[in-house]
Amino acid sequence: MLAILHPNTSLDDDAYRQTMHYLENLPGVSVRVHEIQGASQRLTEIYLLGDTKSLDKEEIEALPAVERAIRISDDYRILGRHRDDRRQSGFTYNGVEFSQSNLNVFAGLCAVDVPEHVEMMMQALEDNGEVCTRMGAYKPRTNPYSFQGHGKGCLPWVFEKAGKHGIKVVAMEITHESHIEEIDTCLEKLGRPTGVMLQVGTRNTQNFELLKAIGRQSTYPVLLKRGFGITLNESLNAAEYLASEGNANVIFCLRGMKTEAGQPHRNMVDFAHVPAVKRLTRMPVCVDPSHSVGSREKSPDGVLDVMHATAQGVIAGANMVLVDFHPKPEKALVDGPQALLMNELPAYLEDIRLCHDTWKKRQAIYQRLKGEATE
């Protein structure tokens, strides 16, 4: 059961104290409090866990600080969508809104290499009005002898450049909990010129200790990649791990599944799951067409497979695109062959806008149908 308190309820209110006293004394029930800071108000959600079957919804709703109660199912308790659950999806971070109804593009380098390339990338983003990017500093690699990223050494100049070009959010994968502090210390020292979204890679989707460490902090939102060899349910549970530790600002990223059947693509593109994740949870959903498709192949229509895959995800309602670009792919240290080029950025962004608008128009068609049915 979930009890949602009246907006802006203060922890000093008598109503709050009385409510908590009642809930904490329910036999066999444990209580977890979640604070959500929205743009205009603070919401407190109280999760009642354990032996909650016999609890009476009306009785909980009668408590002085409670606005309404929702009976939640066992799966994805915090991030899931439950019956009669009208809670909003998403969050705002560093001035950028993330929700199940809008769209942000994170084009950037798979791996940070030299300042000149980072500069060119960020300049191109600024020229095109983009405020988010991806920049890998810690790279998990299949082969132990491959380049593993510049690590904390590159953070100061990457963050400074981001600030200079008006980038508000940098998606950056971390592979160890110590990287959270490295990023935080660096940003703090620089006066926080930009923000960071911590990325959990597909190889770490079920690294539960890493998930718990990331979930314990709420400074940075999280981009969780779907595990490439596990079920969707298992990956969604990994997201719930983050939320259960306190950080529910999570975006779920589809990035293709590892199977020989995916060929000629690097992975089997799984973007038909965009609406499924939105139905099952309240998380904004990201698609990563670069790591799904994995090449610059194009079909006779002249459109790259990476662009077609992006279109499929966005037209189905994706809320974020994470995509590899590089000014000189032949010099990229990681994933050059799948990178899009700087001169492809404007057309790509136009294509994405077109698909996002089309998704909105598609919704309107079916809303009309629903209207006719109830007339």
Contacts with ligand PEP by CB under 6 A lie at 110, 136, 173, 201-203, 225, 255, 288, 291
User: Helices H, strands E: what count in the chain?
Assistant: 11, 14
Torsion of CA 131, 109, 101, 365, to 10 degrees: 120
Min dist CB 255 to ligand PEP, Å, is 4
Residue 173 or 240 with smaller CB distance to ligand PEP:
173
Residue 151 C-beta: closest distance to Mn ion, Å? 16
State the minimum distance, in angstroms, from the CB of residue 290 to ligand PEP.
7
Of the two residues 60 and 170, which places its CB atom closer to ligand PEP in the complex? 170
Does position 335 interact with Mn ion (CB under 5 A)? The reply is yes
User: Which of these segments, 93-101, 202-210, 333-341, 367-375, binds Mn ion (CB under 5 A)?
Assistant: 333-341
Segment contacting Mn ion by CB under 5 A, of 12-20, 37-45, 90-98, 332-340:
332-340
Query: What is the smallest separation between the CB atom of 371 and ligand PEP, expressed in angstroms?
Result: 40
**Binders of Mn ion among 91-150, rule CB under 5 A?**
110
Q: Which is closer to Mn ion, CB of 79 or CB of 200?
A: 200
* CB 256 to ligand PEP: min, Å: 8
Judging by DSSP bridges, how do beta strands 104-108 and 96-98 pair with one another? unpaired
Q: Compute, in degrees rounded to 10, the torsion defined by CA atoms 256, 93, 72, 278.
A: -30
Nearest to 239 by CA among 266, 263, 209, 205: 205
CB of 335 to Mn ion, least distance (A): 4
Residue with Cβ nearer ligand PEP (240 or 288): 288
Q: How many residues bind Mn ion (CB under 5 A)?
A: 2
Q: Based on CB atoms, which residue is closest to Mn ion, 110 or 132?
A: 110
What is the enclosing helix (H) or strand (E) of 287? strand 285-287
Closer residue to Mn ion (CB): 240 or 324: 324
Query: Shortest Cβ distance from residue 315 to ligand PEP (Å)?
Result: 22
Torsion over CA: 273, 200, 36, 77 (sign): positive
Cβ–Cβ < 8 Å for 290, 335: yes
CA torsion 321→260→336→347, rounded to 10°? -40
Name the binder of 265 from Mn ion, ligand PEP, none, CB < 5-8 A by kind: none
What Å distances lie between residue 180 and 45, 135, 152, 196, CA to CA?
26, 15, 10, 10
Say which entry of ligand PEP, Mn ion, none residue 202 contacts (CB below 5 to 8 A, set by partner kind): ligand PEP
Q: Are 110 and 334 in contact (CB under 8 A)?
A: yes
Q: How far apart are CA 122 and CA 163, in angstroms?
A: 10
316 binds Mn ion (CB under 5 A): no
Question: Beta partners for 34?
Answer: 45
Residues that bind Mn ion (CB under 5 A): 110, 335
